Amino acid sequence: MDTTQFSAGILDWYVIHKRDLPWREVGLDPYRVVVAEIMLQQTQVPRVIEKYTEFLGLFPTIYDLAQASRESVIQAWSGLGYNRRAIMLQQFAQEVVKLYEGKIPQVPEALIKLSGIGPYAAGSIASFAFNRPEPAIDVNVRRIYMRYFHGRDEGLPMGREEEKKLYTLVKLSIPENKSCDLHNALMDFGSLVCLRDAPRCSSCVLRKNCGFFPLYTVEKEKVLFVAEKKVEKGVMENGRHIPNRIFRGRIVEFVRKHAGEEVSLEELGCAVKKDYVDADEGWLVELCLKLEKEGMITFGRMGVKMEGKEDGRVVLGLGK
Ligand code: SF4
């Protein structure tokens, strides 16, 4: 497989089309790259741009983040969603300070042992922060490689062997000293050209050698790009299925505004679910207890009423 031609095509495209993002400054403190990477895992770029600068204004160094109160970190994460990432990021900072004197390790094997770091984050930090030739395979990268080299769409399931082969292929395609640029290019290319639902194949600079291009027709597009969506665990709200993830975010948002106050479960329930009724109480308590277990909030019970049918009261706080 000619990975050289592929990488050269992507990098040429990137020179003209690259997005100007604050975490792409040359020589940036690796800590800042990590903050951006963790924020970008579940949040759209425009939202991250806004919060990234604000967050770093509050915690400009890895030491500031490690020493901050958990409450202030969760508070600062407001608006980014998936609040658990705030706790994991702080734990990551504390571990780096404790184990590596504040210097973020450069290799995926060491990174992956730290809190909140999975295979993708380990590769992306090694690549973006240190320009090491380590693959960071997210949905964009997977889709582009599977289409270009295998003429397949990424929606099809892949076994362990295929995953390994993909890893090797991506690694092989990283030109010397260009890991950071190539990964940035892939991110942009996946967001602007090789889109999941409607790839811009007819104007794509890679179409000549892309294995997927011959399959791309308007007719096939309809069949091939219907991604199967998993139904997330959740409950109905005003006739629509809403994932618990959304309600968890709303609970944390409520606690941000009412930390330390005594509120009834009904008040909390009505604030987070538009059609809240008494029958939802068990579900609500379960979500709160899970958030408490994760260290996100504190859920102080007033007496034992909350377990019964009466309107139990609770005192809420952000994780300590
Ligand atoms: S030709 Fe289409 S499928 Fe192939 S890389 Fe370009 S946009 Fe993606």
Mark whether 247 and 155 lie in a shared domain.
Answer: no
Mark whether 212 and 65 lie in a shared domain.
Answer: yes
Residue 247 has pLDDT above 60, yes or no: yes
Mark whether 72 and 216 lie in a shared domain.
Answer: yes
User: Would residue 127 count as lying in a domain?
Assistant: yes
User: Quick one: pLDDT at residue 308?
Assistant: 42
- Which residues are part of the catalytic machinery? 37
The mean per-residue pLDDT over the stretch 243-272 comes to: 90
Q: CA nearest 122: which of 132, 109, 133?
A: 109
- Ligand 1 pocket residue status of 220, Cβ below 6 Å: no
Q: CA nearest 233: which of 245, 220, 217, 216?
A: 245
Q: Over the stretch 200-240, which tens digit does the pLDDT of each residue have?
A: 998 899 999 999 888 776 545 444 554 445 678 999 998 88
Single out the residue in 200, 223, 246 at which a domain terminates: 223
| CA 146–ligand 1 middle distance (angstroms) | 10
* Ligand 1 atom index nearest CA of 147: 3
Q: Are 256 and 247 in contact (CB under 8 A)?
A: no
Q: Over the stretch 25-52, which tens digit does the pLDDT of each residue have?
A: 878 899 999 999 999 988 889 899 989 9
Residue 134 has pLDDT above 90, yes or no: yes
Counted domains in the chain: 2
Single out the residue in 223, 245, 263 at which a domain terminates: 223
Mark whether 242 and 287 lie in a shared domain.
Answer: yes
Supply the range of the domain harboring residue 25: 3-223
Q: Over the stretch 146-174, which tens digit does the pLDDT of each residue have?
A: 999 998 875 556 788 888 999 999 999 99
Please count the other Cβ atoms lying within 10 Å of the Cβ belonging to residue 36. Answer: 24
Print burial letters for 254-263: b (CB count within 10 Å at least 16), e (below 16). bbbebbeeeb
User: Would residue 228 count as lying in a domain?
Assistant: no
| CA 13–ligand 1 middle distance (angstroms) | 13
User: Would residue 243 count as lying in a domain?
Assistant: yes
